[in-house]
Chains A and B, each alone.
Chain A
Amino acid sequence: MTEDYEHREESKSTYAPIILAAGIAVLLFGFVIFLPLAVVGGIIIGAAVFMLFKDGANEKFAEFKESVEEKWPLEFLSKEKLGIWLFLVSEILIFGGLIVAYVYVRLSSNSWPVATQTHDVILGMSNTIILLTSSLAMVFALYSIRGGNIKGLRIGLIGTFSLGAAFLVIKLGIEWPQYYRNGFTISSGLPGSTYFLLTGLHAAHVGAGLVAVGYLLFRSFHGGFTNTKHSAVENIGLYWHFVDIVWMFLFPLFYLI
């Protein structure tokens, strides 16, 4: 049996996918039966993500070279970027489904509190500005590395990371506790449920974005990017802007109307 696949390229095998999948499964299993198990799952996921970080930084899988190919009509997109765009399509559909559910629930409810009664518009507004600025910092990072300016890339990424973290601190550290003190909680009825679920999912996306930006920072300090080789910055940037745009929908839907 073994001689059948001795031509297999050794570099193509990795434990990261099975570990990551097992980690997610243990996490979900833990949610259902035993919460500490979920922590174990989280640790396993962390280990797998670290493996992926290392492989990415070492460019272990990067030698997969595209050969002569038919690309019409998307000759201008790299496969990574096309993958990211398709991923964003799936994200749009998840958030779209949830926003439609929110609108549906709100329209079919007999009464719904006025937004300003339950929500702190000042905090929401400042978070909006912070997130928009973080997107600007991301663009700054991308344009810097396009010009070969590694220092500018690092400054831009650090800016993105700090502003993203500030968004989470304001949201999870200040805004949510304030709502909970006011009795506006996830289980206090549909207004609270929709708000905490949708913005919670969005916050999770910001968190995942922070991990990804952290990866870019990690790689930028290991000489991973040059003015010609920086597609990861652009692709993760796309994701970051998407998360920003989702907030542009959530903010008016929950805070203003």
Chain B
Amino acid sequence: MTIVFDGIAFGMLLFLISVGLSVTLGLMNFVNLAHGVFAMVGGYVCVILLNDQGVPFLATIPFAVMVPALLGVVLERLLYRRLYEASALDQVLFSLGLVFIAVATAHYFFGARQQPLQLPAFLSGQFHLPGLDVGIYRLFLVVAGLLVALLLQWAVVRTAFGARLRAAVDNQRTARGLGIDVNRVFMLTFALGSGLAGLGGALGVEILGMDPEFPVKYLVYFLIVVTVGGTGNILGSLYAALLLGVADVAGKYYVPQIGAFIIYAIMVVILIYRPQGLFGRAHH
């Protein structure tokens, strides 16, 4: 049971970081391999504020969301926007270039070492239920992940902004004709996705660690969540992230000999049978 719980907590983290990618990839059709960069920025903002400035952990979180979101806006305006119509390959190369730049920059400023993080007392420790050890921080992650998932689903399905976003994605020209400022919608969406990645990065320092290689190390995980979950599908990403989290933790626990082999195999099999992802809509 503990393994399942840890897996779920890990999955929630993956979900928090990947959901932004799911939005850019699925709704805006941009293959953004640099998504992990925003998570890394959030993580570094969190540890720097915490360790160097003595800001309490929870108080760093808003900054860890805002800074990547702002960075997202700047990059979207300057660079990403020009490539919305480009081929997947151009987008892959462009975002891979951003990853390289970000990794080297993080190396330059923070060195190659893992950043230490001291959790506040009320978030560390664990309590015991029969058959289940619950880490308090992991419980916190699960709750935070669920909250974000519900909020996002509500925002996309129920609010006017969500409606505008879906309209802009389904048919840009008609949406423009209806007076929707598509550029603004895309920019805000991109900022939201980057901010969420930052949130996931900051909350993930404790479990995933934080070093300059972060965007490369976890890139595959984010991509798996999005492709398996079906792009542009928030609940799909949630289920896929949980599935991946549990499979990864359980696989590494029960059959450490083959390590990450299991999740790659699962991904390939799923993509062969359902190229559009488990919960994705078929392409139209």
Same assembly: no
Chain A residues near B (Cβ < 8 Å) = none
